[in-house]
Amino acid sequence: MDVRLVNPFVVAIQRVFESMVHTKARIGRPLLREDGTKSMHDVSGVIGFSGDAAGCVVLSFPMDVACKIATAFAGTEIDENHEDFTDAIGELTNMVAGNAKMQFEGLDISISLPSVIIGGHTIAHPRQSPRIVIPCETDLGGVAIEVCMTVKETPSKKLAQTQGATA
């Protein structure tokens, strides 16, 4: 996977968690995930990307960590039964994806609305697209970002102009 597609998510989660959740996200060593095993966590926010790069980003949490993070984000006690729980997780995922999207220089990319999945689940990705998992540790617990994106072979003219003819 192109490092241009991974680094923006590292920067984005650090920025969003520090400014919106008031905790630092310490980035672990990214790893390539090749299997279709279940998600590592109980709660996942998912956002799709389309345009010059296609795929998705998944922000995953253990349930207790998701509740702590939603509480810190909202400034009020939120558990998995609270009516705003999925909105908080979805909005954090949206903020991370949107912040990363702004850093994709020269790529014309759109993002979807977030979906939130709760409970044991598997998020399937196309086999030809590499999946990078970026583990993060916060004072509220562990979080993982899973990025599965590919850049079109012929991205928009804007990319060719900003990066030269060798994209």
pLDDT by residue (tens digit) across 94-119? 999 999 999 888 888 999 999 999 98
Q: Is residue 166 part of a domain?
A: no
- At residue 76, does pLDDT exceed 60? yes
Q: Is residue 64 part of a domain?
A: yes
Q: Is pTM, for the whole model, over 0.85?
A: no
DSSP assignment of 75-96: TS---TTSTTHHHHHHHHHHHH
Q: Is residue 16 part of a domain?
A: yes
Q: Is residue 167 part of a domain?
A: no
- At residue 161, does pLDDT exceed 50? no
Q: Is residue 58 part of a domain?
A: yes
Q: Is residue 48 part of a domain?
A: yes
Please give the tally of structural domains in the chain: 1
Tokens of 125: 């990705």
In this structure, what DSSP letter does residue 153 have? Answer: S
Q: What letter represents residue 5's amino acid?
A: L
The candidate with the shortest Cα–Cα distance to 143, out of 2, 16, 56, 49, is: 16
Q: Is residue 140 part of a domain?
A: yes
For position 45, which CATH number holds? 3.40.1550.10
Q: Is residue 88 part of a domain?
A: yes
- The domain of 23 spans 3-161
- At residue 36, does pLDDT exceed 80? no
Contact 46, 27 (CB under 8 A): no
> What are the C-alpha distances in Å from 34 to residues 31, 43, 136, 148, 149?
10, 21, 19, 11, 14
